[in-house]
Amino acid sequence: MDNRPVENYMPSPLDPADWGDFRKHAHRLLDTCIDHLSEARDHPWCHPVDADCDAVMLGSATEGVGYAEVVDELARNILPFGTGNTHPRFFGWVHGSGLASGILSEIVAATMNSNCGGRDHGAVYVEREVMDWCRRCFGFPEGASGLLVSGTSQATIIAFAVARTKVLGIESRYTGIQEFPKLAAYAASGVHSSTSKALELLGLGAASLRTIPLDSDGGIDIQHLKQVVARDRTVGIQPFCVIGTAGSVESGFFDDLEALADFCAIENIWFHVDGAFGAWARLAESPWKELAKGIERADSLAFDFHKWMYVQYDCGAVLIRDGRVHRETFATRPAYLAGQKQGLGGGDPWYCDYGTDLSRSFRALKVWCALRTYGSIALGKAITRNCELASHMEALVNDSLLLRMEAPVRLNVCCFNAAPFGWDALLQGTLNATIVQQLQLSGDVVFSTTELGGRTVIRAAIVNHRTCNADIEYAISSVLQARNTQMDNHDFIK
Amino acid sequence: MDNRPVENYMPSPLDPADWGDFRKHAHRLLDTCIDHLSEARDHPWCHPVDADCDAVMLGSATEGVGYAEVVDELARNILPFGTGNTHPRFFGWVHGSGLASGILSEIVAATMNSNCGGRDHGAVYVEREVMDWCRRCFGFPEGASGLLVSGTSQATIIAFAVARTKVLGIESRYTGIQEFPKLAAYAASGVHSSTSKALELLGLGAASLRTIPLDSDGGIDIQHLKQVVARDRTVGIQPFCVIGTAGSVESGFFDDLEALADFCAIENIWFHVDGAFGAWARLAESPWKELAKGIERADSLAFDFHKWMYVQYDCGAVLIRDGRVHRETFATRPAYLAGQKQGLGGGDPWYCDYGTDLSRSFRALKVWCALRTYGSIALGKAITRNCELASHMEALVNDSLLLRMEAPVRLNVCCFNAAPFGWDALLQGTLNATIVQQLQLSGDVVFSTTELGGRTVIRAAIVNHRTCNADIEYAISSVLQARNTQMDNHDFIK
């Protein structure tokens, strides 16, 4: 391959006129960012934005300010105002913490600006490597297909669309679903909201999701599931998907995935697993890794890298056991994208044939970089450590006379209650929510809340490689202090 | 806000043990990347990957290699193997070229690792600024809503879902669409394939899209559209969306958006505009900017930043005139995401209530950075220059006795034919495709192909701020040379 020089070319009006100057400011920004990340533990989890949001106003944005000024503004007006999830005492929702390797990958990805919808170039090979690593990690067979997406929500949409094609046939892509019998999906109560959102998008409606109570082991009650499926079949409703939860977001429960796989095999129903963060229990040590047993029998698996693989936002993935039906569900190639035998238009398969997006960023690089830099053993150890920390938090709660657990810790989620036992549920919830809010505003520690047993409770999801035992101890002591403050608050008691 | 130190903490097992060492390697990588980008013109548009794809193999990836080695591998095995779209003579498909400002934004975004699904933190304010700038740029009213997404494919899905809610009512989220009358969408022949893909995903089926022939001005034939809509209404099919194309991907045509807006107002049908790249004609000078007139009357608009705003992949957006129905279509907040009055759980609106994704990356920063660094005037000038370059290519084709135009250049897409006039269509197409492939493999210039008038023709889409007149002249002379080579090829003539 050769590149003859072009005479008399004009430089780009948008490239730096002085690359040396750009280089200087880029290095300055990189130093500021590395300082910031290396001090993740030393500053409050975030700065409140209220007073500063004016600083990012664009207005008409007609005139540019150039690289030097933009670097100043990024450092001063943007960088300090993070979500807070890089901080070791951020336990809110399920927010991954990011990796230093992600800075490296994003510099390269931004420079290359690859479009990973298809074609024959380096980024596609990297994505294939990443997805093949996932396939082996989760025990899917050769012939399974996979795709990086923005997260589990998208992965779920794609998986359900494939399951729908499997049941209704490929002609349903053309005809739509309106003249087919009604479909139904099944999941444990506590399944993630992205499940019903995906069913809504696909036109099946939230009502097509049957939520099944949990059994005494804390997973889906399979006897109950069996009855609901049988009843649906009786009235002409077609079961099209059973969703197994691998790590629920509220309390961290796991369905018995082996039992669900058996059930789906007998009933001939698509078996999807929502493994957003919990799928990665597979990389942890015993006893946590056993929770994910059976995941390798799923027809489809949705999971995130940006939660418990610590990779930067956004990055999730879907694996589909039957690569053929996956491709049949999404492949369409207009004329201007016709493949070629050789050249850039070559290469096969194209990822645009496996999902909804035609233009696709080089998401694979941050995963590749994480796996290559740290290796799966070290990543698995960090996951194990997070589970141990959740158990440590549970122990501290159990040791305290003023706090009590609201659900057993199964993995990395710890839900507890700081309110006196005798209070009514509403007042208990108000106290817990107020404590969480006070701690967030103090900059000390971020919990979030959830509903369990009809009460708003305090919830920690530990998916942060910077968290250590001392942080857990500090966090629980902060809860106790905040509880005292609030209990002394006469307004509250009234 | 305060942050008391924690005693006896353990460092993260995944953070660099030696930040100074990490810093050194990160700076080294940044230098390599800036070298690479500043030399975008000087090396072939890409390196073939065949011989080198083994170098990115992950294997089991159990052990990490550390930062120094990863930086070496990124520089040696990944960076050179781009899609090619950073090169000034890359005209294939519609691939944006990226901006130097994108390296700055991605360093900061990777450091912050913000999750933009919601809550009250800096990244959300940046996205609001970016979307408000878009709203004003495209003439949408206050009260309109918008969301950054991976690209126009996603934006189209979201827009159609909202249009569906508007027609069927919010209860259709619960019931699904199966018991409703059939819906139909309408677009000009040549509408992008993402349109029918979105209809398939939503369960409406590709058959719900009626493609209407073009009129003599090269846009949708509105009289014909009127007839088809009337016929559908007669048989009980409900028209739910008319799609206007602002810059078709095959040939760059524009529908008469004003006329479509009038039609939709009279017929009370949702008016969606697919403006993937063409919407940005709005920032260009006359006569191109007039092509996008009427876009401000759309009910929804889908467009990309990663094409003609030169921003790094991936980044597109949707604007919805009626923010209320947008929110009604997507809002669901499970208990663990309940809002708070204050603290990180506060802030309103949350972007997760306006789309399918709950976890969302800080895409807004690369757009913010581009607008802030260069300003919309300079970006608009680059867009104008791309249009002028497409016209220059058209002039060169028209000046050549061996090439001929296959469609008039309206914006930035130039389609031409290098085959002798008398040849049959199949042979013409084979010659054009072979020329395109030869030029790609030579490393000199990247065209792609498309189908026009039943023939495979050569196509250039110029969305690259590095392209200049000399590149266009060089590219056409390369086509003529390649044509000679192929015409001399006896195998071909047989």
| B70 with A358: Cβ contact below 8 A | no
Cβ within 8 Å, pair A83-B13: no
The whole-angstrom separation of Cα A254 and Cα B68 is 39
β-bridge partners, A270 = A241
> What six digits make up the tokens of B363?
């895409």
Starting from the edge strand earliest in sequence, which strands make up the sheet with B316-320, in order?
B145-149, B316-320, B300-304, B270-274, B238-245, B183-188, B209-212
Q: What is the pLDDT of residues A164-201, one digit of tens each?
A: 999 999 999 999 999 999 999 999 999 999 999 999 99
Contact criterion met (CB below 8 Å) for A151 and A314: yes
Q: Which residues on chain B are in Cβ contact (under 8 Å) with A206?
A: 173-174
User: For position B334, what pLDDT does the model report?
Assistant: 65
pLDDT, average across residues A56-62? 93
Look up the CATH number of domain A115-361: 3.40.640.10
Per-residue 3-state assignment (H helix, E strand, C coil) for chain A: CCCCCCCCCCCCCCCCCCHHHHHHHHHHHHHHHHHHHHCCCCCCCCCCCCCCHHHHCCCCCCCCCHHHHHHHHHHHHHCCCCCCCCCCCECCCCCCCCCHHHHHHHHHHHHHCCCCCCCCCHHHHHHHHHHHHHHHHCCCCECEEEEEECCHHHHHHHHHHHHHHHHHCCCHHHHCCCCCCCEEEEEECCCCHHHHHHHHHCCCCHHHEEEECECCCCCECHHHHHHHHHHHHHCCCEEEEEEEEECCCCCCCECCHHHHHHHHHHHCCEEEEECCCHHHHHHCCCCHHHHCCCHHHCCEEEEECCCCCCCCCCCEEEEECCHHHHHHHHCCCCHHHCCCCCCCCCCCCCHHHHCCCCCCCCCHHHHHHHHHHHHHHHHHHHHHHHHHHHHHHHHHHHHCCCCEECCCCCCCEEEEECCCCCCCHHHHHHHHHHHHHHHHHHCCCECEEEEECCEEEEEEECCCCCCCHHHHHHHHHHHHHHHHHHHCCHHHHC
Q: Do B356 and A153 touch (CB under 8 A)?
A: yes
Cis before B314? omega within 30: yes
| Residues of chain A neighbouring B71 (CB-CB closer than 8 A) | 104
The one-character DSSP state at B88 is T
Closest-CA residue of chain B to A53 = B125
Q: Are A329 and A352 in contact (CB under 8 A)?
A: no
Cα angle, residue B125 at apex, residues B123 and B126 outer, rounded to 5°:
65
Mutate to test the interface with B, among A74, A434, A440, A477 (most CBs of B within 10 A): A74
Of A113, A201, A236, nearest to B356 by C-alpha is A201
Of B60, B78, B443, Cβ closest to residue A122? B78
**Mean pLDDT to the nearest integer, B252-276:** 97
Q: How far is B339 from chain A (nearest CA, A)?
A: 10
Q: How far apart are CA A309 and CA B172, in angstroms?
A: 37
Q: How far apart are CA B310 and CA B464, in angstroms?
A: 7
Name the β-bridge partners of A212: A188
Whether A81 and B365 lie within 8 Å, measured CB to CB: no
Indicate the residue of B99, B199, B344 with minimum beta-carbon distance to A440.
Answer: B344
Judge: A125–B48 Cβ closer than 8 Å, yes or no: no
Q: Which of B235, B297, B295, B241 is nearest to B268 (CA)?
A: B241
A248: left (phi over 0), alpha (psi -120 to 50) or beta: beta
Q: What is the pLDDT of residue A488?
A: 87
Close Cβ partners of A66 (under 8 Å, ≥ 6 residues apart): B373
Nearest CA in chain B to A151: B359
CB A402 within 8 A of CB A134: no
pLDDT value of position A45: 73
Contact state of B343 with A440 under an 8 Å Cβ cutoff:
yes
- The number of C-beta contacts closer than 8 angstroms across A and B is 647
CB contact under 8 A, B121 and A198: no
Of B375, B14, B489, B387, the residue nearest A385 (C-alpha) = B14
Q: Residue A97 pLDDT more than 90? A: yes
Cross-chain CB nearest to B79 (options A106, A108, A340)? A108
State yes or no: pLDDT of A393 exceeds 90: yes
- For residue A43, the model assigns a pLDDT of 80
Q: Which residues of B touch A199 (CB under 8 A)?
A: 176
DSSP bridge partners of B183:
B238
- The topology under which CATH files domain B114-361 is Aspartate Aminotransferase; domain 2 (3.40.640)
With a cut of 80, say whether residue A343 has pLDDT above it.
no
Of the residues A356, A368, A389, A413, the best mutation for testing chain B's interface (the one with the most B CB atoms within 10 Å of its CB) is A356
Q: With DSSP H G I counted as helix, E B as strand and the rest as coil, what are the percentages for chain B, rounded to 5?
A: 45, 15, 40
A367 pLDDT above the threshold of 70? yes
Q: Which residues of A276-306 are buried (b: 16+ CB within 10 A; e: fewer)?
A: bbbbbbbbbeeebbebbbbbbbbbbbbbbbb
- pLDDT exceeds cutoff 60 at A65: yes
Cα–Cα dist B88/B446, whole Å: 10
Backbone angles phi, psi at A450, to 5 degrees: -150, 175
- CA B443 – CA A72 distance, rounded (Å): 39
The owner of tokens 């975030």 is A46
| Cα–Cα nearest to B131, from B379, B316, B314 | B316
DSSP label at residue B91 = -
Share of chain B above pLDDT 70, in %: 94
pLDDT, tens digit, for every residue of B132-148?
A: 999 999 999 999 999 99
CB-based contact B110 A102, cutoff 8 Å: yes
Tally: H helices and E strands in chain B: 15, 11
pLDDT of residue A120: 86
The rounded distance, in Å, linking the Cα atoms of B84 and B3 is 47
Confidence band, pLDDT 50/70/90 cuts, at residue B2: low
Residues of chain B positioned with their CB less than 8 A from the CB of A178: 177-178, 180, 182, 203-205
- A121 and B177: CB-CB below 8 Å? no
Q: How many C-beta atoms surround the C-beta of residue A423 within 10 A?
A: 14
- pLDDT at position B50: 66
Q: Which residues of B touch A339 (CB under 8 A)?
A: none
Q: Which CATH number fits domain A375-493: 3.90.1150.170, 3.30.450.20, 3.40.50.150, 3.30.300.130?
A: 3.90.1150.170
- Identify which of A280, A273, A249 has the alpha carbon closest to the alpha carbon of residue A259: A273
Residue B246: beta bridge partners?
A: B254
Residues of chain B positioned with their CB less than 8 A from the CB of A283:
none
Q: Tell if the CB–CB gap between A193 and B345 is shorter than 8 Å.
A: no
Determine if the peptide bond prior to B287 is cis (ω within 30°). Answer: yes
Omega within 30 of 0 (cis) for the link into B239: no
**Cβ–Cβ < 8 Å for B114, B122:** yes
Residue in the block written with tokens 């659900």: A407
For the record, the structure tokens of A308 come out as 């418990």
Q: Phi, psi (5° rounding) for residue B242?
A: -110, 130
User: With 60 as the cut, is the pLDDT of residue A406 above it?
Assistant: yes
Q: Would you call A359 and B31 a contact, using CB atoms and an 8 Å cutoff?
A: no
Partner residue opposite A336 with nearest CB, options B93, B176, B182: B93
CB of A131 closer than 8 Å to CB of A305: no
Question: Is the pLDDT confidence value at B337 over 80?
Answer: no
For an interface test with A, the pick among B327, B344, B476 (most A C-beta atoms closer than 10 Å) comes out as B344
Among A7, A9, A12, A249, the strongest candidate for a mutation testing the B interface, having the largest count of B CBs within 10 A, is A12
Longest CA–CA separation in chain B, Å: 84
* Residue B341: predicted pLDDT: 65
User: Does the distance separating the beta carbons of B374 and A344 come in below 8 Å?
Assistant: no
Rama region for B51: left / alpha / beta (φ>0; ψ in -120 to 50; rest): alpha
Contact criterion met (CB below 8 Å) for B291 and B281: yes
Closest CA relative to residue B369, chosen from B91, B78, B130: B130
Mean pLDDT of B349-360: 94
As given in the structure block, the two tokens for residue B241 are 């969306």
Q: How far apart are CA B189 and CA B318, in angstroms?
A: 23
The CA distance from A267 to the nearest CA of chain B, in Å, is 24
Chain A residue with minimum CA distance to B452: A335
Measured CA to CA in angstroms, residue B267 lies from A347, B214, B221, B262, B263 at distances of 45, 20, 16, 9, 6
The closest CB to that of A314, out of B112, B161, B360, belongs to B360
Q: What is the mean pLDDT of chain B?
A: 94
Distance from CA of B435 to the nearest CA of A (A): 11
Tell me the per-residue pLDDT of A423-481, one tens digit each, with 9 for 90 and over: 999 999 999 999 999 999 888 899 999 999 899 999 999 999 999 999 999 999 999 99
Average pLDDT over residues A241-265: 96
- Yes or no: is domain B376-493 CATH 3.40.50.300? no
